[in-house]
Amino acid sequence: MKGLKKQRRIQVIVLAAVAMAASFGAFYYAAPDALQYFRSPTEVAEKAPGPNETFRIGGLVEEGSLVRGQGAAITFRVTDTNEAIRVRYEGVLPDLFGENEGVVATGKLVDGTFQATEILAKHDETYMPKEVVEALKEQGVYVDPNAAAATN
């Protein structure tokens, strides 16, 4: 009788492990773009991600780099004051988007230009995304204490 209980327990454990592996595999297959990593412009310049990798890049919109094209097309450069990456985006920009303002863009790096599919800008006068604050601090850039406090 003891052998049967032990065998049943092992079967349940193996079944649970297989179910967990299958559910993780289904999630990973169904939503590969859901797992996005944040990178600063310096990290992108040092080690460029693959052309099929979706990630987020953040920093400040470089002053003088904002160029509006035909229709809803826009190009600008995102900088962490150490490196700058050219970004191209087509669509409606957030109201508070502008030069020398914090921004996070989601997309892919194609031929050295970041092709953004989504642009996120601060939602009030003091907010800056936590990742952007940390990346700028690493580069030795002064970050307004109010902006850093708003991220916590």
User: From first to last of its 152 residues, what are the pLDDT tens digits of the chain?
Assistant: 677 888 999 999 999 999 999 998 888 777 765 666 788 888 888 888 887 888 889 888 888 888 887 778 899 999 888 889 999 999 888 877 888 888 889 999 888 899 999 988 765 555 566 777 777 777 777 665 554 444 44
HSE, side-chain direction, 13 A CA sphere, residue 36: 17
How far apart (Å, rounded) are the C-alpha atoms in residues 152 and 150?
6
Evaluate whether 56 touches 116 at the Cβ level (below 8 Å): no
pLDDT at 148: 45
91: three-class secondary structure by DSSP: coil
Type of residue found at 108: K
Strand 37-39 relative to strand 55-61, pairing: parallel
How far apart (Å, rounded) are the C-alpha atoms in residues 105 and 141?
20
Longest dimension (CA), the chain: 79
pLDDT at 152: 42
pLDDT at 144: 59
pLDDT at 145: 54
pLDDT at 149: 44
Any idea which architecture 35-150 has in CATH? Beta Barrel (2.40)
Q: Which of 147, 86, 149, 90 is nearest to 117 (CA)?
A: 90
Type of residue found at 73: A
